[in-house]
Chains A and B, each alone.
Chain A
Amino acid sequence: MNPSFKFILALIISLEISLKISLSTNFAIIILAIIYLLIKRIKLKNLLILLLVPFIAAFTIFATLEWFTPTPNLFNALGLSSRIYVYILTISCVTINTNAEELARSFEQNFHLPSKFAYGVLAALNIVPRMKQAVKQIRTAGMMRGVYLSFWSPVLYFKAILVALNSAENLAQGMESHGYQEDAHRSVIIAVPVRARDWVWSAIILIALNLALFILK
């Protein structure tokens, strides 16, 4: 499915289930999402992380509403805690077979998001591993000169910010040197098509979601 459609769909699903509690819908979405993830061959380890990490948040909400309120309500408690899983799993369905480049490209072509936005974010994402490496290197550089930089050391962050500023400056120049101009028209080499089936599937999913939300409890 088109990356932008998937993204918007996940957003709508999350918004709608935030407005109305329907336990069965939540569970239906969770099960369908897990099935989708399995079809897309998610690694078992990643799936376990996806299920275990949100458990802390989900359990906290459940405990608060079921055990620590004057009027416990199992329906609300389950409804709210299962939402956490809906959010996490629907977004995982978006990210499992879409990378940042595809999403940015799709936003640019299908939603006409300004290119400086799409590529600015992408470029920033590409700086992240560089920053990680830089922090490691700064700490090593410090230790080699008898300066121990702990993770809360101002010098570490001063240096990291300098590296980031410098990278940002170079990046802007780098983008321009590779022909990028703000607001200029760009050609499309890798097209991200919007197919009829994207519309059809989106419609089916949305109708099913709304029916489920209002009919099922």
Chain B
Amino acid sequence: MITSKNLTFSYDQNIKILDNLNLEIPTGQFSLLIGPTGCGKSTLLKVLAGLYPKYAGKVSGDLNLNGLKSAIMFQNAGEQFTMATPREEIIFALENLRVKQADYHKHLTAGVQFAQIENLLDQKINTMSGGEQQRVALAVLIAMDIDLFLLDEPFASCDPQARQFLITKLAHLRDQGKTIILSDHVLNGYQDVCDCLFQFAGHHVQQLDSLAKDKLLQTSMHQNNYSFAVPQNEAACFTLNKTQLTQNRLLLSQDQLKIIAGKTTLITGANGVGKTSLFNALTKMLPYSGSLTYHNREVRQQATRKYLLHVAQIFQNATDQFLSVTVQDEINLSKKQRTNGFFTDEKINEVLADLDLDQHLDQVVYSLSGGQQKKLQILLMLIADQDVLLIDEPLSGLDHVSSQKVMQLLRQSQKKRGQTLLIISHELDGLADWCDYHLVFADKQLHYVTK
């Protein structure tokens, strides 16, 4: 049993993130932490991992891990690596744990097979997609052969197949006696696996009884059948013609494709298939070969500064979008180039309140929680005046309520202003039912589907 007694954690004097937590998390079981964004899930995991208060904040109270060896996987997996490649990183971790050379292969194979990263083993980590990095991070923990796995939204960038596969694998680990504590916003796929469900609410955490737990996990089980139209002769915003994209390997080789103006198009596809790279090519961050036009003008020939005022990307990682220091500064910056009548000052204030950001106006953007950053980022980019927004995983790190609100806002803004939205998302709930078209990215091709 992992126990905490009156555990309190705060980053500064005023705000307690965790307040007098009395927890009993059983060992050898699969525990799931849920709760709204910014509630302290990541903080609790880092306290359990022993990183806090060493690196930030103050802790009081007792915590007893029962002598378990633990390791954590960060929410932003890409920032966890010391070495350049997965193989080097695993060797580094194993040497730290004083694993003998004779046992190295056993450990390596365990990690590699678990996360299925054979083909990634000697690739540079910083060229991998978000989902691939998450699988590598998981492989390192498996190779380390620890007792307690602390996983902070480990599947946020994984496609549904990879996600289901990894959850099942984690359940096997649990059956071998490992303890797994995992935080997630998406409850899909846990119903047969999760032993204990802990819910955060207002700086406190409570364990749900098995009835409430099953109910919560069951309701998120539903399989939706979405349907989409296939574009006919509508005006194109982007036109691809024999377009090729390459990053490490050939990602896209598209003969003909039109992306329709003034509509919302959903893009799905497996991890590492090249979805973000496509967005990078559309925002001139990645070169392409062949032809790619925006309203019949070749993208590579357009002046970057002007072009990006029409076509913008909402990055997967929210902090990449920020240019100022506080929330208020960021809002003001976005207001500067606003000409649309939709986001009036009143509307902005209303949205800030709706997204629970109005209490954080003076806060430094980098100190917001992951979910708060995401909400702010999307709002900032909506206020600006782009005709086309490329949105990369808008729902990652957002709890159910927040993601509903963000979707509502995106939808409203799109309707009123006729923007073209391209959305990459693994999470389809609340999103797929209002997207006009659905592009599937597979086998180096994008094609429209009706389902």
Chain A contacts to B: CB under 8 angstroms: 101, 119, 122-123, 126, 129-130, 133-134, 136-138, 140-148, 155, 159, 162-163, 166-167, 169-181, 184-191
Give 1 or 0 for each of B319-356: 1 = CB within 8 Å of chain A CB: 11111000000000110110000000000000000000
A sample of 19 cross-chain residue pairs with beta-carbon separation below 8 angstroms, ordered by A number, consists of: A123-B83, A126-B81, A126-B83, A138-B323, A140-B284, A141-B321, A143-B308, A148-B305, A166-B319, A169-B55, A173-B74, A174-B79, A177-B74, A177-B80, A178-B89, A179-B71, A187-B98, A189-B91, A189-B95
> Complex: how many Å from CA A155 to CA B333?
13
Are B79 and A170 in contact (CB-based, < 8 A)? yes
Tell me if B88 counts as interface (CB < 8 A to partner A).
yes
**Chain B residue with minimal CB distance to A99?**
B84
Q: Is the CB of A191 within 8 A of B101?
A: yes
Chain B: interface size category: 35 or more
Q: A174-B81, A179-B71 are in contact. Are A186 and B304 (CB under 8 A)?
A: no
> Which partner residue on chain A sits nearest B81 by CB separation?
A174
B140 CB–A CB distance under 8 Å: yes
Closest A residue to B143 by CB, please name it.
Answer: A178
Bound-complex Cα distance A171 to B80 (A): 6
* Chain A residues touching B, majority SS: helix
CB proximity of B90 to chain A, nearest CB, Å: 9
Asked if B144 contacts A178 (CB within 8 A), the reply is yes
CB distance A189 to B384 under 8 Å? no
Hey, which chain B residues are within 8 Å of A173, CB to CB? 46, 51, 55, 74, 80
B96 sits at the interface (CB 8 A): yes
**B83 touching A186 by the CB < 8 A rule?**
no
Provide the bound-state CA to CA distance between A191 and B102, in Å: 12
Q: B140 touches which one: A129, A143, A178 (CB < 8 A)?
A: A178
B100 at the A interface (CB under 8 A): yes
> Would you list which residues of chain B between 74 and 113 have a CB under 8 Å from chain A?
74, 76, 79-84, 88-89, 91-101, 104
Query: B9-17, B207-215, B309-317: which lies at the A interface?
Result: B309-317
**A101 B283 Cβ-Cβ under 8 A:** no
Per the bound structure, the CA–CA distance linking A187 and B366 in Å amounts to 37
How long is the Cα–Cα vector from A130 to B128 in the complex, in angstroms? 12
Residue from the list B74, B97, B126, B381 in contact with A179, Cβ < 8 A: B97
Alpha-carbon distance between A145 and B383 when the two chains are bound, in angstroms: 10
Does B158 reach chain A (CB closer than 8 Å)? no
Shortest beta-carbon distance from A115 to chain B in Å: 9
